[in-house]
Amino acid sequence: RAMELPPGHFPAARAAALAVGYLRYLRGGPSSGLQLRELRRARLQDIDDVGHKYYLELELEDVLDKDRTVSCTAEVLYQLGSKSSAPDVQLTVQGELRSTEEADQEFYNRIRSLEKELVAENIPDSHGNVPPELEPIHLLAWAASGYVIWQNSTENTKFHLAQVKHVKQVKRNDEDLQFDFVVLLHEMVSQEVLPWEVTLLWHPQRGARVPQSRAMGAGS
Amino acid sequence: HQVLRVVPQSNEELQKVQELQELEHLQLDFWLAPSRLGLPVDIRVPFRSLQAVKAHLEATGVSYSIMIEDVQALLDEEQTEMLRSSRQRSVDTNTFNYEAYHTIDEIYNFMDLLVAENPNLVSKLEIGRSTENRPLYVLKFSTGGTNRPAIWIDTGIHSREWVTQASGVWFAKKIVQDHANNEGVASILETMDIFLEIVTNPDGFAYTHTTNRMWRKTRSRHAGTICVGVDPNRNWDAGFGDAGASSNSCSETYHGPYPNSEPEVKSIVDFVKSHGNIKAFVSIHSYSQLLLYPYGYTTTPAPDEQELHEISAKAVAALSSLYGTKYTYGSIITTIYRASGSTVDWTYNQGIKYSFTFELRDTGRYGFLLPAKQIVPTAQETWLALKVIMEHARDNIY
């Protein structure tokens, strides 16, 4: 019923990228960034009247701590003919990566105590540089992009965050940090680089949430 | 800085906005390029160009709105200017900084230095001119003979893939060093020539420095099209115009009005045909960490698929042996996507059996904006894979 797929072929790779994007949103923060180290196994099930379901076995690493990896099994369901709803992703992560509690709290306190709201552009810059103090912002943009990628992926797309064009912190009365991003997403199949506006809320215990996002230039 | 939004409502307005793209001294950064009427064009305008841009638009009644006001970036700009002015022209290829990204002038200067330092090994050929009349230069590495069987390597056909041009510069120096030390590719150079085109798309490359870091295509304008540029990796005469390329000039995979419409492509086609003795052809891109062979335009396997697959396995193992970088390999159409009119499909159909495309580092964390400190490791590991391909071509004459 479920067909074995070569991990080196693009259908499995696209489903894996989507699963990792979703996981980045769920688990993302300023002190860690999850990346796919290896797609170990992939199977595809064509479910009549429902859609295509991919079963994936992934090995993931934290970009800031590459000595450790965790395993993840994911089920990605691309629903038939559905242009408006996001693929359904179910994940199970086995194992633990290093704790980021302390680093997260430190970042949170630092931003909360800024007198002027943080503003930055072009992360990374043209030469791939990210100033160390902006790396947490880069990682938060990665988490925010994960949401957009999850919501907008199909079997015919593979998105990556190409660059943070602009980020502006917005001070709030509640305990969340808010960052308004303009990110460039690179879509591999069409090769387009698409600007998106994404608002991200983040809190050390509550994690990341995206209350709103929209593609720029699609007739706003 | 400010980010201005213009929504052209007429062809005149669209033209006025497009004119801004040509004014390089304004250092405008187009987040959304001009394409169709009614679609917004977003332009990040440095502080010092604001007055000029607003005047240009207001003079023809083009309305704009201010999307983002940002004062802080002024400081960042000054810092960038300082860095830029501190870059000095290299006087020789030993002091050239291989760990940094360079401008087109710096790379063209490097080529001249390399030739001047090694006149018995290296020569520079001009194989044509780009749309904007920039010379298309190929370095020839040869220890003699007449029209020896040859290996072709190109980098930078897609201008935003900066690690590829940077790697090409490193490869050029590496070939010279190996020859001087009688190791590595010195043995290949005994019986074969190597041709290396480092800046295969110079107009696009210049544009990534001055205006839009994410520019991929050429900078040509064809009659009856709205947008600028053709995807040079969809413009070759192999499945041209089939599924896997776009007929919309505003698309990043626009194939162009006809095969070889782009001088950057035609010049290579003419060179390959007139040389007649190229045995291996490698076209280098980034990113994704892939080693690919034909076909992209059809699911029919290439007749030599088994051999190409075996070479790829060996090449990828060699690459990985240096820093553990993982590559996937296979045909274009099964590994990334269907793509028509691509370079190595054409070269393969011309009879150049060992036709390969690389997608270098990384897998998406930095993508096109690969940190400069990864240039040399990337070039070093890729070179090991290239040597496998070159040695196989040398040892399997056809």
Show the beta-strand stretches assigned E in chain B: 2-6, 29-32, 41-45, 64-69, 122-129, 135-141, 150-155, 193-197, 278-286, 290-293, 328-331, 354-360
Do B49 and B166 share a domain, yes or no?
no
Q: State whether B207 and B324 are in the same domain.
A: yes
Same domain, B63 and B100: no
Domain residues of chain A, as ranges?
A: 3-215
Q: Which residues of A touch B329 (CB under 8 A)?
A: 8
| Whether A8 and B330 lie within 8 Å, measured CB to CB | yes
Q: Are B279 and B393 in contact (CB under 8 A)?
A: yes
* Residue B227 included in any domain: no
Say whether B371 and A166 touch across the interface (CB within 8 A): no
Q: What is the mean pLDDT of residues A129-142?
A: 97
Mean pLDDT score of chain A, rounded to an integer? 95
Task: Report the pLDDT averaged over residues B282-309.
Answer: 98
Asked if residue B194 and residue B48 are part of one domain, the reply reads no
Note whether B334 contacts A6, CB cutoff 8 Å: yes
pLDDT score at A140: 98
The domain that contains B286 carries what CATH number?
Answer: 3.40.630.10
Average pLDDT (B87-111) is 93
Domain count, chain B: 2
Q: What is the pLDDT of residue B175?
A: 98
Q: What is the pLDDT of residue B83?
A: 59
User: Does any domain span residue B90?
Assistant: no
pLDDT for position B79: 54
Q: What is the DSSP annotation of chain A?
A: -EEEE-TTSHHHHHHHHHHHHHHHHHH-BTTB-EEEEEEEEEEEEEETTTEEEEEEEEEEEETTEEEEEEEEEEEEEEETT-SSSPPEEEEEEES-----HHHHHHHHHHHHT-SSPPEEEEES-TTS---GGGHHHHHHHHHHHHHHHHHH--TT--EEEEEEEEEEEE--SSS-EEEEEEEEEEETTT--EEEEEEEEEEETTTEEEEEEEEETTS--
Residues B9, B129: one domain? no
Residue A85 has what pLDDT? 85
Mean pLDDT for A51-60 is 97
Any catalytic annotation for residue B77? Answer: no
Q: Does one domain contain both B310 and B192?
A: yes
Q: Please give the pLDDT value at position B229.
A: 98
pLDDT attached to residue A219: 43
Band of the pLDDT at A220, cuts 50, 70, 90? very low
- Work out the burial of residue B161: count CB atoms within 10 Å of its CB; fewer than 13 is exposed, 13-18 middle, 19 or more buried: buried
In a domain? residue B222 = no
Please tell me the distance in Å from A133's CA to the nearest CA on chain B. 14
Q: What is the mean pLDDT of residues A196-210?
A: 97
Contacting residues of B for A162, CB less than 8 Å apart: 214, 367-369
In the predicted structure, residue B184 carries a pLDDT above the cut 90: yes
Average pLDDT in the A55-73 region?
94
User: Is A35–B363 a contact, with Cβ atoms under 8 angstroms apart?
Assistant: yes
Please say if the pLDDT value at position A128 is more than 90.
yes
Please compute, for residue B224, the number of CA atoms within 13 A of its CA located in the half-sphere on the CB side.
4
Q: Point out the domain boundary residue: B51, B69, B87.
A: B69
Q: What is the mean pLDDT of chain B?
A: 92
**Does residue B50 share a domain with residue B133?**
no
Whether residues B331 and B184 share a domain: the answer is: yes
Q: Is the pLDDT of residue B74 over 50?
A: no
Residue B380 and residue B309 share a domain: yes
Q: Rounded to whole angstroms, how far apart are CA atoms B370 and B162?
A: 8
* B24-B26-B31-B32 Cα dihedral, nearest 10 degrees: -70
Q: If phi over 0 gives left and psi between -120 and 50 gives alpha, with beta otherwise, what is residue A128?
A: left
**Could you say which of B262, B359, B381, B391 is catalytic?**
B359
Domain of residue B44, CATH code = 3.30.70.340
One domain for residues B150 and B45: no
Of B49-63, B306-320, B350-364, the poorest mean pLDDT is in B49-63
Same structural domain, B173 and B55 = no
pLDDT in tens, B226-278: 999 999 999 999 999 999 999 999 999 999 999 999 999 999 999 999 999 99
For residues B86 and B38, give the distance between their C-alpha atoms in angstroms, rounded to a whole number: 43
Candidate from A94-103, A205-214, B151-160, B294-303 with smallest mean pLDDT: A94-103
Q: Which residues of B touch A10 (CB under 8 A)?
A: 334-337
Q: Can you give the residue range of the structural domain that contains B267? A: 96-216+234-396
Q: How far is B148 from chain A (nearest CA, A)?
A: 37
| Residue B291 reports pLDDT greater than 80 | yes
In a domain, B225, yes or no: no
Q: What is the pLDDT of residue A82?
A: 66
Task: Tell which of B69, B85, B113 closes a domain.
Answer: B69
Q: Write down the pLDDT at residue A218.
A: 52
Q: pLDDT confidence of B50, banded at 50, 70, 90?
A: confident
Mean pLDDT of the B144-153 span:
98
Q: Is residue B76 scored above 80 in pLDDT?
A: no
Give residue B178's pLDDT.
98
Q: What is the pTM of this model?
A: 0.88
Residue B367 lies in a domain: yes
Are residue B129 and residue B53 in the same domain, yes or no? no
Q: Out of 3.30.540.10, 1.10.3720.10, 3.40.50.11890, 3.10.450.10, select the CATH number for domain A3-215.
A: 3.10.450.10
